[in-house]
Copies of this chain bind each other. A is one copy, B any other.
Amino acid sequence: MSYTDTSVQEINACMQEAWNAFHVYRKKSLKERAALMRAIAKELESCGDHLIEVAMRETNLPEARLRGERGRTIFQLNSYADACERGDWLEARIDTAIPDKVPPKPDIRKMLVPLGPVVVYGASNFPFAYSTAGGDTACALAAGCPVIVKAHPAHEHTSEIVADAIHKAVAYLNLPKGVFQHVYGKSIEVGKTLIQHPHTKAVGFTGSYGAGKQLFDWANERKEPIPVFAEMGSVNPVFLLPEKLNAAATDIANMYAGSITLGVGQFCTNPGLIIGIESEALTTFTHDLGKAIQKIQPAPMLHTGIAKAYAAKKELALMQDEVHLVAEGETPSAVENPDGGLQGLATVATASAQAFLKNPVLHQEVFGPYSLIIRCANKEEMLAVAQHLEGQLTATLMATENDILKHDELVEAVKNICGRFILNSVPTGVEVCLSMQHGGPFPATTDSRFTSVGADGIKRFARPIAFQNWSNGLLPDELKNENLLGIIRTVNNELTKSTV
């Protein structure tokens, strides 16, 4: 199946359509927005096996994974719809007038309103959950923003089927068709045209550093710069603290062999860096991780481009001074799989902390089933490694309580660079819930103050507006004295669901 890139003229028409739809959709109640999201979830379910089959063909991902991912996408839509309706995210604030203050204090009431049309660039590695009807789309629709999705070139047919499901939901609810639009673009010109259009007011992106940073730069070069939330991955460092490692080297090795190679390592939270202090336990861990990796069956990666990039980046890493191969998985068949995917070879390497500290190449993400074990001479070197790391989506400590108390400075340094801080577990597996933070300091994302997973992601696409001196009848329902929607609001500095 082949899709033609959407033309500049068509994109202009799309953006005008989105702009017109914005003026209708932003006035829709939280209930109506939630209804749309739930209708999309239902339509996604109705796509049935056909959607799964097409996605399997386009992405090489196994059936069970894709069924699970669709389930997660439906859960996202429904749970963000619940959050949308609950309305906590509106940050409604009311300060009532104090007429006898000098000067008199006026009545002021504030809530979040949508930014405008949002362009979403989906991920290759999550054809459902971070693509067409994924988290960014769900958040933007909850916020009251029309959405324009550029289909990921690696799964355009899958994207088309999902887009048709969304179109059906939009039509079913009698919303303007500009509320959701779908475009194609293999060339970077399409991406650029979309982000440069004056009616585009925000961007959601999941993918590589190169592409995400380019979008960020284009957005800031505009006459009117716009917010870009680009999630650009990371190496997700794991720190093995001595007491814990000593007690459980083999268990940790087996746990991490699974995490490194889960989904052929194609997760943005894949643990690409494991840091330990030279010891018998670290030797055992390295040996056992290698042994476990060797048993990993080869599996095709998402597409040829990703497989080739993985092979090249891994080769580059292995070529660096003082980097040694620990183990590779079972040798894959030399034959490309029928859909052009290439099999990704699980790999673990090791280097000294000194080699790591002086070589920026080793700090880069190798997207795939790869991890680098860093051997530190002592506690101080481990701290130095932590202090030299860039921003990360996640960081993990494998540690006993005693370890943590003894490594206070390390714990603080690691906390300072990550969005999610995990203890004695693996970073893969991103729970969809309000407490999730899927974000992190640059270069993990372009703005560490936001998340792309969990209903707090809605706030990426909304801004506060304060109404001053409006009479009750003219205020939006969310801010009226009666609290018609029963939402939580901060009234004169006190959180309450009460009327004013």
**Selected contact of A466 from candidates B391, B420, B441, CB within 8 Å:** B420
Q: Which of A95, A217, A446 has the most CB of B within 10 A?
A: A95
Give per-residue flags for A403-419: 1 if the beta carbon is below 8 A from chain B beta carbons, else 0. Answer: 01000000010011011
Q: Which residues of B contact A470 (CB under 8 A)?
A: 421, 423
Asked whether A366 is an interface residue with its Cβ less than 8 Å from the other chain, the reply is no
Decide if A465 touches B93 in the complex (CB within 8 Å).
Answer: no
Asked whether A109 is an interface residue with its Cβ less than 8 Å from the other chain, the reply is yes
Asked whether A103 is an interface residue with its Cβ less than 8 Å from the other chain, the reply is yes
Asked whether A4 is an interface residue with its Cβ less than 8 Å from the other chain, the reply is no
Decide if A449 touches B434 in the complex (CB within 8 Å).
Answer: no
A422-B469, A423-B469, A425-B106 known; A224+B443 contact, CB < 8 A: yes
Q: How far is the CA of A225 from the CA of B434 in the complex (A)?
A: 27
Q: How far is the CA of A436 from the CA of B493 in the complex (A)?
A: 12
Q: Which residues of B contact A93 (CB under 8 A)?
A: 434-435, 456
Decide if A423 touches B474 in the complex (CB within 8 Å).
Answer: yes
- How far does the Cβ of A109 sit from chain B's closest Cβ, in whole Å? 6
Asked whether A431 is an interface residue with its Cβ less than 8 Å from the other chain, the reply is yes
Q: Which residues of B contact A456 (CB under 8 A)?
A: 91, 93, 464
Q: How far is the CA of A43 from the CA of B330 in the complex (A)?
A: 70
Q: Which of A217, A391, A449 has the most CB of B within 10 A?
A: A449
Q: How far is the CA of A149 from the CA of B10 in the complex (A)?
A: 49
Decide if B425 touches A468 in the complex (CB within 8 Å).
Answer: yes
Q: Which residues of B contact A419 (CB under 8 A)?
A: 463-466
Chain B residue at minimum C-beta to C-beta distance from A455: B493
Q: How far is the CA of A490 from the CA of B439 in the complex (A)?
A: 20
Q: Which residues of B contact A447 (CB under 8 A)?
A: 227
A220-B217, A225-B216, A474-B404 known; A466+B435 contact, CB < 8 A: yes
A220-B217, A401-B474, A434-B93 known; A465+B421 contact, CB < 8 A: yes
Decide if B434 touches A462 in the complex (CB within 8 Å).
Answer: no
Asked whether A429 is an interface residue with its Cβ less than 8 Å from the other chain, the reply is yes
Asked whether A376 is an interface residue with its Cβ less than 8 Å from the other chain, the reply is no
Q: How far is the CA of A226 from the CA of B401 in the complex (A)?
A: 34
Chain B residue at minimum C-beta to C-beta distance from A467: B421
- How far does the Cβ of A68 sit from chain B's closest Cβ, in whole Å? 10
Decide if B88 touches A495 in the complex (CB within 8 Å).
Answer: yes
**Selected contact of A468 from candidates B95, B116, B423, B448, CB within 8 Å:** B423
Asked whether A437 is an interface residue with its Cβ less than 8 Å from the other chain, the reply is yes
A115-B448, A227-B449, A401-B474 known; A108+B433 contact, CB < 8 A: yes
Decide if B110 touches A437 in the complex (CB within 8 Å).
Answer: yes
**Selected contact of A442 from candidates B110, B224, B448, B464, CB within 8 Å:** B224
Asked whether A473 is an interface residue with its Cβ less than 8 Å from the other chain, the reply is yes
Decide if B459 touches A449 in the complex (CB within 8 Å).
Answer: yes
Asked whether A113 is an interface residue with its Cβ less than 8 Å from the other chain, the reply is yes
Q: How far is the CA of A116 from the CA of B441 in the complex (A)?
A: 11
Q: How far is the CA of A75 from the CA of B430 in the complex (A)?
A: 43
- How far does the Cβ of A57 sit from chain B's closest Cβ, in whole Å? 27
- How far does the Cβ of A110 sit from chain B's closest Cβ, in whole Å? 4
Q: How far is the CA of A412 from the CA of B442 in the complex (A)?
A: 36
Chain A to chain B contacts (Cβ below 8 Å), 10 pairs: A86-B493, A91-B456, A103-B429, A224-B390, A224-B442, A227-B447, A423-B474, A436-B466, A439-B464, A448-B463
Q: Given known contacts A227-B447, A423-B468, what 4 new A-B pairs fall within 8 Å (CB)? A: A108-B431, A115-B448, A423-B469, A434-B493
Considering the complex of A and B, which 7 residue pairs feature the smallest CB-CB distances, nearest first?
Answer: A437-B466, A93-B435, A448-B463, A108-B435, A95-B435, A110-B435, A420-B466
